[in-house]
Each structure stands twice: as structure tokens, then as C-alpha cells.
Amino acid sequence: MIIEKNKVVVVDYKLQKDNAQGELVEETTGRDPLKFIFGIGMMIPGFEAELEGKEAGEEVAFQVPSEDAYGEYQDEALIDLAIQNFEVDGKVDFDNLKTGKMITMQDTQGGVHHGMIKKVGLEQVQVDFNHPMAGQDLFFTVNIREVREATESELDHGHVHE
């Protein structure tokens, strides 16, 4: 069975920055494999494009440029927010505001945004809302373990069931 829209795909992968000699970011081999429904937006576009049409048992290695991964780094996503945005019960917990900490914030329309604290000042906190891998080319080595039909329930729920 080939990889195409609405198929469940199970893979082991190794992710490196830039190329096959790049820094190791993540590896699933020997642990839990990655399981996803192909073609419904669960994976970055460049990853899916390279797997489409492949079959279980194949191993592929490929580079995904940043624009087909997590996008280019956008300077306008680095935002200075008033310290009052971080108040809880009228007080700012400076012990909890640490450079490098990932935070989740909600905008006035209810949208959820994830960011990383870059700087903490007395009046402002600088938060980077770019994906941590934005602007980064990626290199994958993928071993395709399994390809199967997604069940009706999996398609309804938008994720793979065990």
C-alpha cells in the first residue's frame, strides 16, 4: 500500500539541522514511532511531499528547506509586551518569567499563541512567537514501518488511534 491522503503512516525518523552531518534534533528509532494520518495537515508540507507514494519497508533521506518546514523567521513575531500582561492577581511573578521559557498566551479573539521569552525587563517582556525551528532547514532520515487505511473513527477524530 502506498502513502497517500487519509492513510495511516508509521515511521521511525532521525531529524537533523541543515543536512546529514547536522546537529541531531530528535530521533525515534528504538522508541515509539511517529504515527500520523497523511494529507490532513498533521505534518510539515515538505515532510509529506517526500513521503507521498512511498511504501512500508522503504527508507528515505531528504532535506526540507525552511519555507516547507516551519517557515522563515519573521522579525515581526518578536514582540515586546507590557509587563502587566503577566500579572496574576495584580502581581508579576518574576521568578516564573525566565529567558528561554516557553509560554502560551491568548489574544483578544481567543486565539492561542506559543512563544519563547527572550528578555525580561521591569516594564516589558520580549516574546518570540516564531516556531523554535523557523528559518531552519531540516534533514530527515525516515524508515517507513507501516502504511494502512485510516479507520472512519480516526478520520473523524483527526488522529491515529492505538
Architecture of domain 75-128: Beta Barrel (2.40)
Average pLDDT over residues 34-50: 96
CB 97 within 8 A of CB 78: no
pLDDT exceeds 90 at position 29: no
- For the chain, the structural domain boundaries read 7-70+133-157, 75-128
DSSP of 85-121, one letter per residue? GGEETTEE-TTT--TT-EEEEE-TTS-EEEEEEEEE-
Residues in CB range of 28: below 8 A, 6 or more apart? 11, 12, 13, 14, 34
Say which CATH topology domain 7-70+133-157 has. Answer: Chitinase A; domain 3 (3.10.50)
**pLDDT one-digit tens code per residue, 113-130:** 999 999 999 999 999 999
Same fold, 7-70+133-157 and 75-128: no
pLDDT of residue 96: 84
**pLDDT one-digit tens code per residue, 90-114:** 898 888 899 999 999 988 899 999 9
CB 66 within 8 A of CB 134: yes
Question: pTM to 2 decimals?
Answer: 0.83
Among 92, 81, 74, smallest CA distance to 125 is for: 81
